Amino acid sequence: MIEKDIKKLSIAFLGAGNLAVNLAQSLYRNGFEIVQVYSRTEESARSLADKVKSEWVTDLKKVTSKASLYIVSLKDSAFMELLPQIVEGKNGALLVHTAGSIHIRIWEGKTDRYGVFYPMQTFSKRREVNVKEIPFFIEAARKEDAELLKAIASVLSDSVFEADSLQRKNLHLAAVFACNFTNHIYVLAADLLKKYDLPFEVMLPLIDETARKAHELPLLEAQTGPAIRYDEHVIREQLEMLSDEPAMKEIYRVLSENIQKRSQGK
Amino acid sequence: MIEKDIKKLSIAFLGAGNLAVNLAQSLYRNGFEIVQVYSRTEESARSLADKVKSEWVTDLKKVTSKASLYIVSLKDSAFMELLPQIVEGKNGALLVHTAGSIHIRIWEGKTDRYGVFYPMQTFSKRREVNVKEIPFFIEAARKEDAELLKAIASVLSDSVFEADSLQRKNLHLAAVFACNFTNHIYVLAADLLKKYDLPFEVMLPLIDETARKAHELPLLEAQTGPAIRYDEHVIREQLEMLSDEPAMKEIYRVLSENIQKRSQGK
């Protein structure tokens, strides 16, 4: 499969959320043809369709049956509910979903050519990401479809892997930790600073350095702070400082204990 | 106080850990004179002294009484234990500690001129940090010493603040969350990936993007993932995936619950 050929694919998007917007735009800019965007809400459908010069529909029954690749990027619950309608009349086309958390077997027996096209990144409105550096994880029922999806992903990104559903589910779970939980921890730090009239911005060099260290040092060597030093005096005092913040206190306790356990190889 | 004058200070370092090494080197490169380094272990004392062209001692009794500024960067517990010996014979000099977690009043009644010189960053061996971007938090018993310390910090960094001890303790606590806990969460993600034969490196673009978003988006808007979407199906499944990892499961549960609480403004 050469690049000239894969660009002849006609692609339909089902879903127009943050992931779909970033992915569809990247495909469009790399010369792929997006023929249609479906979203339940007109605003989302129209907005993404404008960006990628495609048609848009808000009625699932009006989704084209002529696309060669359908990229389904709906909320997990909506996807499962709408699946019977999604596959209807798409015989011969390749259907993929983009969710890290959904097993490939969800498609089994419903259509012939199916797979997963999972870009592991955090997508927000008002922020475009650099797709070139996003790792894509590919899985497909047929070997030739896996090759096709890998070829497409390789146009968009320098980092393309095959991963089975168990691996991908665990990638997604690891991402929940490294991204969603990390961001929440920033929220907790920001709450604390606000309480003492300190701007959150002072935290940014530390946040950046913590991320940079993950590139350069083994993570256990990069670990600093009272827990890893077994500085019980500071730990006790900090728990006390959180006595009117029970949730933060609980998070502090659980994480500090686990830092110490993990440093002992437990 | 002009820069020419503050560079005439003679500075002694008590402690030669990661923070002291980074701070002393930055002072040295910016033209300050480090006259002596004390550390309990010869290797640390000698290694730092070599870097900043100073004398070194391993006996606290041999610490010079002629420096004009003493920067104490010992472990919290060692500092408190050694404090009586540290202040001995240092009358007239300015003594500061570098720990975010220690109240300024620890010096009270023990010497006349004292303060705190707290660079908020994570310091590791084998990695030099960019001191210019580190926020320094200054406190001193005397107004003129606070000015002096601010002038020194301003030579090293573009980001210098006065903060009282309560603020600084909370800065330090916020840093424990944003840095130490974040790094531990990376460790947990890495553990999970290893279990499923996946390289940790695939996580780095996500880690970087999570940090970058903290610069550009309000943190609550940046929050993504199953908890903030109230995707109970995924949350339940991920908790189940962690059933043989009780510590991770507990951390997952506590953080997911708190993401939902916090999104409701609780």
- Residue A218: give its domain's CATH number: 1.10.1040.20
Q: Which of A120, A225, A237 sits opposite B202 (nearest CB)?
A: A120
Do residue A27 and residue A157 come from a single domain?
yes
Tell me the count of A-B CB pairs closer than 8 A.
314
Residues B150 and B227 in one domain: no
In this prediction, residue B124 carries a pLDDT of 87
pLDDT tens track of chain B, all 266 residues?
A: 455 678 889 999 999 999 999 999 999 999 999 999 999 999 999 999 999 999 999 999 999 999 999 999 998 889 999 999 999 999 999 999 999 999 999 999 999 999 999 999 999 888 889 999 999 999 999 999 999 999 999 999 999 999 999 999 999 999 999 999 999 999 999 999 999 999 999 999 999 999 999 999 999 999 999 999 998 989 999 999 999 999 999 999 999 999 999 998 76
Regarding whether B174 and B157 lie in a shared domain, the answer is no
Tell me: do A130 and A112 sit in the same domain.
yes
Selecting from B121, B167, B228 the residue whose C-beta is nearest the C-beta of A209 gives: B121
Query: Nearest chain B Cα to A161, which residue?
Result: B202
| Containing structural domain, residue B107 | 3-163
Q: Which of B124, B167, B197, B210 to mutate to test the interface with A (most CBs of A within 10 A)?
A: B210
Contacts of B254 in chain A (CB under 8 A): 247, 250-251, 254
B169, B177, B217: residue with CB nearest A126: B217
Q: Are B203 and A124 a contacting pair at CB < 8 A?
A: no
Q: How would you label A96-132 residue by residue, b for 16+ Cβ within 10 Å and e otherwise?
A: bbbbbbbbbebbeeebbbbbbbbbbbbbbeebebebe
- Residue count of chain A, please give it: 266
Contact between B101 and A238 using a beta-carbon 8 Å cutoff: yes
* DSSP three-state, residue A148: helix
Q: Are residues B243 and B142 in the same domain?
A: no
Statement to judge: residues A175 and A82 lie in one domain:
no
How far apart (Å, rounded) are the C-alpha atoms in residues A45 and A38? 6
B161 Cβ contact partners less than 8 Å away, ≥ 6 residues apart: A202, B135, B136, B137, B138
**Domain match, B132 and B50 both:** yes
Give me the number of domains chain B comprises: 2
Work out the angle between the directed axes of helices A182-195 and B204-216 (0-180°, nearest 10): 30
How many Å apart are CA B238 and CA B249, to the nearest integer? 9
Pair (A255, A143) in one structural domain: no
Same domain, B112 and B202: no
Among the candidates A140, A163, A186, a domain finishes at A163
Residues pairing with B138 in the sheet: B117, B162
- Please name the residue of chain A whose CA is at the shortest distance from the CA of residue B215: A204
> Among residues A163, A194, A217, which one ends one of the domains?
A163
Q: What would you measure as the largest C-alpha separation in chain A, in angstroms?
A: 68
Instruction: Flag residues of chain A having pLDDT under 50.
Output: 1
C-beta atoms of B205 and A180 within 8 A: no
Of the candidates A121, A202, A217, the beta carbon closest to that of B120 is on A202
Query: In whole angstroms, how far apart are CA B189 and each of A139, A214, B252?
Result: 22, 12, 11
Whether B14 and B137 map to the same domain: the answer is yes
Neighbours of A90 (CB within 10 A): 22
Residue B49 shares a structural domain with residue B133: yes
Among B163, B193, B209, the domain-final residue is B163
Could you report the per-residue pLDDT of A37-94, keeping only the tens digit for each?
Answer: 999 999 999 999 999 999 999 999 999 999 999 999 998 889 999 999 999 999 999 9
Task: Judge if A225 and A107 occupy the same domain.
Answer: no
